[in-house]
A and B are shown apart, each in its own frame.
Chain A
Amino acid sequence: MDKQSLLARCRHFLTDGIGAQHLTLIILIVLISTLMQFFFPLFLDPLNVETLLMNFFPEIIVSIGMTMVIITGGIDISVASVYAFAEIIVAKAMVEAGWDIVPATLFTLFLCCLIGLMNGYLADILSVHPMIVTMGTLLTLRGVNLAITDGRAVSGYSDAFAFLGQGHLWFFPIPILVAIVLAIIFGYLLNNHRYFRQIYFIGGNEKAARVSGVNVRWVKVSVYVICSFLAGLAGVLGASKYGAAHWGHGNMMEMKAIAAVAVGGANLNGGSGSIGATMLGVCFLAIVNNAFYIARVETFWYDVVNGGMLVLAVAFSLYVNHRNEIKLINQKIRASNRVEMEANQ
């Protein structure tokens, strides 16, 4: 690439709202970490970093799927109960039905994909807002989770399964490794694969995407399937990590995932967002959360900060949109002046 275009790109990144938002986020993360490290030298201790990440690995995995759904202009709030459902099914399959790890996991993930298929298909066929469809799934599935467990935890699986959620590969806890690998894979696909590129077109302008030859229905449904699949995968790892499956696990996870995407700067109306940005969003939430624990602040305040951050992030996006609109208007005026000049000549 030639220098000029590189320069243009840099300037574009800095003046473009989304780029600026990422930069702000990175600066905030570094700032909070430095301050915390200064006052609580244990903050950046590998052990604390591991705790910090382990507390948030389900959110990392789930927010990958959520990013894709939100880029299409949809939303999936059923992920929390899909997560708990996966925990329960994989546990029951092994503990009560005596299945092996692999078939139990595959069966669980298959069921989760079916749930995603249903979400996507209903939202598309009935053209009901995905918020409503997935809210229905969230509540129904939570009821199912309660009913099939009688509200009790399911536990007692093998050490081999426990290794999935608790074990390490070299120095890395396996769930975190899985989350990072997934983020890299999907991040790369979203940037570089034609199939995933279509997600952006759908979110940017669904009708135009259809006229441009995108199979809108199929792509949208598949995104919900991926989202439920990832929630299910997080659930399987979660069951292993906690050593027990419980219907209440993962509660409010959908909100954290959506918050991560929003803080990362994606437009909730669709068309923009990236896995990298969402990861910054999750990191931010995880660090703020951890800071509260370390500093022994009453954790009740955590949600206050979280909520405040979300509102700020959205306000920032709106500001950027607004500024773009002004730019558009100015450009229109310039264009019309040009027309007039041509007419006068």
Chain B
Amino acid sequence: MAEQPILEIKHVSKSFAGNAVLRDISLPINKGEVHALVGENGAGKSTLMKIIGGILPADGGEIFFNGQAVRFENPMQALDAGISIVHQELSLAQNLTVAQNIYFRREITDSLGFIRKDAMANAARQVFKRIGVDIDPNVLIGRLSIGMQQLVEIAKAVSLDAKVIIMDEPTSSLSESETSHLFNLIRELVRNNVTIIYISHKISEVMELSHRVSVLRDGLLACSSLTSEITTEEIIHHMVGRELGNLYPPKGKNIGDTIMSCQKLSRHGFFRNVTFDLRKGEILGFYGLVGSGRTEVAMAMVGATPITSGEIRLDGRVVRFKNPRQAIGNGICYLTEDRKVLGLFLSMSVRLNATASILGRISNRLGFLRSDNMRHKSSELGDYMGVTPKNDIIDIINLSGGNQQKVLLGKWILTNPRVLIVDEPTRGVDVGAKSLIHAKIRELADKGMSVIMITSEMPECLGMSDRVAVFREGDLITVLDNPGDPEMQKNIMSYAVK
């Protein structure tokens, strides 16, 4: 390639709280190409894009833009240089018009500083004409579909005269016709010498659209190749090709009969016709990429969100929980992935947090709490889960993430559930807490509890689950038996992507 790359990433690395997310990434991006970036959840794609776009600083390495070393302090500098990001979660103001959003921060004004709405609308119309889109610039953003909003984001980038547009999972919430429209637009932009960096989970899209594809795995660049010279199978191999250590407890020994089953469970707009059985004493992994509907299924199973159709059977009986309280009453608990929002009472003590779901069992017949019972249960939990510090009257906010998670898991164990659904149980916890949580979950399963384990981490999924249910875009694709050998990875991944 004679021409120098428009964007060159050299030896970039980044870590969060001691965990390396990017390790020495070097990657040239050529002018006027669609460069696809693929990888598992947490492979580092989004982090890399944030570093290029000036949202995060890199720990080390350099970025060259048009041959010059650049270091963007904030997204505005990146924008001014000509690098725009179209985020997965759109960053448009819902209560402003299309034109106001496109010209946000650079409103067209008269000499007194008053905004000239008509001029702004006209300018927006010009941009839309250039990219062949028909949107009324005076309409409120909130009234547009997600697909249309995405087009507005791209129009905004075009109006900023962006040389490089980074798209993060742009099709994750688009319909098929919207997707094909977007692809046409991307091809049009590339003809005009704009460079597109296209982040996606969907390998079929990547194969169709991109000129070059790079695969990230665990923060490393696993491969970078012309799309025409690589197959889907090879991409998947690069995404998951890693060895598994003996980090995980042995598989389940005494797995019994089905105790809970979901039949054609649907929630409109989130998941469709999800059917599976859960057996006594097994750990059923839910694997899928972010947004594949796993958490939504779990929330619906415990009655936290409604079900549109389908049924849940518990011991053969049809049950329908109106709220989590009824689910807990039937021995079904859900450990959230979102500790801060759905799990912890941050301003309260460890003891109160630990006993929040067993108020009934620590109070007498009239409902008065027995403080000795409470103290006893709380310290029982602390000992079992190895929570440090042992002092349980301090506010839980003072505990580390791993210890907070131990308390939350312990809180559900105290309710003695029959079915425990754990959602990303080891996210954001340290190595020691992680293996302890794994060991405890397996121990409980061996004692007869059934566990559903939602995880986005392939090694954890392989290492822990007896069977794996693979989700993709709101569908349960298949349930696979999991012997735990590394070959399973490609098998699972090939169902989860495409």
Q: Residues of A at under 8 Å CB distance from B?
A: 5, 8-9, 12, 192-195, 197-198, 200-201, 204-205, 207-215, 267, 271-272, 324, 327-328, 331-332, 334-340, 342-343
Determine whether B432 belongs to the interface, using a CB cutoff of 8 Å to chain A: yes
CA separation between A338 and B398, bound complex, in Å?
15
Complex: chain A residue closest to B20, CB-CB: A343
Which of B324, B345, B367 is close to A205, meaning CB atoms less than 8 Å apart? B345
Chain B positions 78-137 with a Cβ under 8 Å from a chain A Cβ: none
Given A204-B348, A205-B345, A336-B18, are A193 and B368 neighbors across the interface (CB < 8 Å)?
A: yes
B398-A9 in contact (CB<8A): no
Determine whether B139 belongs to the interface, using a CB cutoff of 8 Å to chain A: no
With most chain A CB atoms within 10 A of its CB, the pick from B345, B363, B367 is: B345
Complex: chain B residue closest to A217, CB-CB: B323
CA separation between A198 and B357, bound complex, in Å?
10
Q: Which 9 A-B pairs have the closest CB atoms?
A: A336-B17, A340-B18, A204-B345, A194-B359, A335-B400, A213-B325, A213-B328, A339-B18, A194-B363
For A201, the chain B residues whose CB sits under 8 A away are: 345, 348, 352, 356
Q: Which of B198-206, B336-344, B457-465 touches A?
A: B336-344
Chain B positions 190-218 with a Cβ under 8 Å from a chain A Cβ: none
Determine whether B19 belongs to the interface, using a CB cutoff of 8 Å to chain A: yes
Given A205-B345, A211-B334, A331-B400, are A12 and B325 neighbors across the interface (CB < 8 Å)?
A: no
A212-B357 in contact (CB<8A): yes
Q: 8 extra interchain contacts, Cβ-Cβ under 8 A, other than A207-B341, A209-B345, A327-B398?
A: A195-B367, A205-B345, A208-B343, A211-B324, A212-B324, A271-B345, A340-B18, A343-B18
- Residue contacts A-B, CB under 8 angstroms, 29 given: A193-B367, A194-B369, A195-B367, A197-B352, A198-B359, A200-B348, A200-B352, A201-B352, A204-B345, A204-B346, A204-B347, A205-B341, A209-B345, A210-B304, A211-B302, A211-B343, A212-B328, A213-B325, A213-B329, A213-B357, A271-B347, A328-B398, A335-B400, A335-B401, A336-B17, A336-B18, A338-B400, A338-B430, A342-B432
CA separation between A215 and B356, bound complex, in Å?
13
CA separation between A197 and B359, bound complex, in Å?
8
For A272, the chain B residues whose CB sits under 8 A away are: 347
CB distance from B311 to the nearest CB of A (A): 22
CA separation between A9 and B345, bound complex, in Å?
20
For B346, the chain A residues whose CB sits under 8 A away are: 204-205
Which of A198, A212, A342 is close to B431, meaning CB atoms less than 8 Å apart? A342
Determine whether B397 belongs to the interface, using a CB cutoff of 8 Å to chain A: yes
CB distance from B419 to the nearest CB of A (A): 15
CA separation between A334 and B398, bound complex, in Å?
11
For A327, the chain B residues whose CB sits under 8 A away are: 397-398
A214-B325 in contact (CB<8A): yes
For B342, the chain A residues whose CB sits under 8 A away are: 205, 207-208, 211
A8-B393 in contact (CB<8A): yes
With most chain B CB atoms within 10 A of its CB, the pick from A5, A9, A212, A214 is: A212
For A335, the chain B residues whose CB sits under 8 A away are: 17, 400-402, 430
Complex: chain A residue closest to B398, CB-CB: A331
A9-B393 in contact (CB<8A): yes
For B27, the chain A residues whose CB sits under 8 A away are: none
Which of B302, B324, B393 is close to A12, meaning CB atoms less than 8 Å apart? B393
A12-B397 in contact (CB<8A): no
Complex: chain B residue closest to A272, CB-CB: B347
CA separation between A331 and B398, bound complex, in Å?
7
For B352, the chain A residues whose CB sits under 8 A away are: 197, 200-201
B345-A192 in contact (CB<8A): no
Q: 1/0 contact trace for B301-329 toward A, CB 8 Å? A: 01010000000000000000001110011
B367-A194 in contact (CB<8A): yes
Complex: chain B residue closest to A321, CB-CB: B347
Complex: chain A residue closest to B364, CB-CB: A194
For A209, the chain B residues whose CB sits under 8 A away are: 345, 356
CA separation between A193 and B344, bound complex, in Å?
21
For A193, the chain B residues whose CB sits under 8 A away are: 363, 367-369
Which of A207, A208, A215 is close to B323, meaning CB atoms less than 8 Å apart? A215
A339-B304 in contact (CB<8A): no
B325-A215 in contact (CB<8A): yes
Complex: chain A residue closest to B401, CB-CB: A335
Determine whether B222 belongs to the interface, using a CB cutoff of 8 Å to chain A: no
Determine whether B263 belongs to the interface, using a CB cutoff of 8 Å to chain A: no
Chain B positions 1-58 with a Cβ under 8 Å from a chain A Cβ: 17-19
CA separation between A331 and B404, bound complex, in Å?
13
With most chain B CB atoms within 10 A of its CB, the pick from A12, A201, A213, A335 is: A213
CA separation between A211 and B411, bound complex, in Å?
12
CB distance from A321 to the nearest CB of B (A): 9
Determine whether B488 belongs to the interface, using a CB cutoff of 8 Å to chain A: no
CA separation between A324 and B346, bound complex, in Å?
11
Determine whether B67 belongs to the interface, using a CB cutoff of 8 Å to chain A: no
For B395, the chain A residues whose CB sits under 8 A away are: 324
With most chain B CB atoms within 10 A of its CB, the pick from A193, A197, A342 is: A197
Complex: chain B residue closest to A195, CB-CB: B367
